[in-house]
Amino acid sequence: MSGNAVNWRRWLSPRVLGPLLFLVIAWNVDWPALLRILVAVPAHLVVLALALQALALVLKTLRWRSLLHSQGYALPVRQVWPWYLVSSSFGVVTPARLGEAWKAFMARDRAGVPLSSGLSATLLDRLLDMSMNGYLALAALLWISLFPFLNTLWWSLLLLVPLIFLALLFPRIRERPLRWLLEHSLARKLGLDPETRERLVTDMHALFGPRLALAVLLTLLSGAVLFFQFGVLLVALDLVLEPMVVNSTLLSALTKTVSALPVSVAGVGTRDAVLVVVFRHLDLAVETAVGLSVLLLLVNHVGVGVFGTLAGWWDRRTGD
């Protein structure tokens, strides 16, 4: 195995936990009841959820394009959208979502964008989603009061996190965290040479400019679309958790955050587990929780894979 190759054995070993959790949950599920729940789901609501997923991907494509633009590379939307969708589909099935870096290589090969610029935009693109969902996940833990003995910790983190983000606006403060993050996220995993690593740090600093506000706005908009999508899936299962806006937003962020933990593949097992815990806390059936998890897997992972496949076909057809 080459030095740059992915160590699949090392990647898979911690992700055994997710499937094990799923097996434990599956053992306690009434499968005929689960099948009845899924069969009763209105097809038009699933189609609506898929359409909302597509809209969210469009907004995220615009965000990544904006981040490239802030570094001086104004690429047309018709050129970058298939790259973003294909890389998103790769990200669903690759170690640590490394497949999302594919669009940076396409921008380099097809548009002459330096790899460091494409990778820095890709990393910040991912961090914006993770930051939003992670922060709202903390709020969800407080709102649902799953672990009331930890409420002081959750409140402390909710107050501290915004201060940390404000501090990162200052170059001297973010220098060391940026270097650590880049080293442990992209540089080492992709086997980047020292020169590219240094340019990557410089390009990351360049992203913290006026256009970052647009990227944040697009993050909030895409997040709102996906939170609404979560509400649509709740309605599809005949669940009304009032207040719906708050519950769909916070539960969606919580499931996305847990699904992103490196102990599963595509959130299988971990997403199911957190939904089962929450639904039991709300006196709802385990089968409903697993049914919602199945719908989320279908829409957010299989759906993205289908969109990526279609985008790849379009990209090859047009040759842009």
Q: How many CA atoms lie within 13 A of 1 on its CB side?
A: 8
State the residue for tokens 């360049």. 206
Tell me the two tokens of residue 207: 């992203």
- The amino acid that residue 106 corresponds to is M
pLDDT of residue 6: 47
Query: What radius of gyration do the chain's Cα atoms show?
Result: 20
Between CA 132 and CA 195 the distance in angstroms is 31
Position 319 confidence tier, pLDDT thresholds 50, 70, 90? low
End-to-end CA distance of the chain: 34
Q: Who's near 73: CB < 8 A, 6+ residues apart? A: 107, 111, 113, 117
**Residue 285, pLDDT above cutoff 70:** yes
pLDDT of residue 300: 92
In which band, very low, low, confident or very high, does the pLDDT at 291 lie, cut at 50, 70 and 90?
very high
> 252-282: per-residue pLDDT in tens?
999 999 888 777 777 788 899 999 999 998 8
* CA dist 205 → 98, 120, 173, 200 (Å): 21, 9, 11, 9
Q: Could you give phi then psi for residue 201, rounded to 5 degrees?
A: -65, -45
The answer on pLDDT for 14 being more than 70 is: no
Question: What local confidence, expressed as pLDDT, does residue 1 receive?
Answer: 38
Mean model confidence pLDDT for the chain: 87
Please say if the pLDDT value at position 245 is more than 70. yes
Q: Give the residue among 249, 235, 256 at the shortest CA–CA distance from 301.
A: 256
pTM score: 0.89
pLDDT of 232 above 90 = yes
pLDDT tens-digit profile of 186-211? 666 677 778 888 888 888 888 988 88
Confidence of residue 64 (pLDDT cuts 50, 70, 90): very high
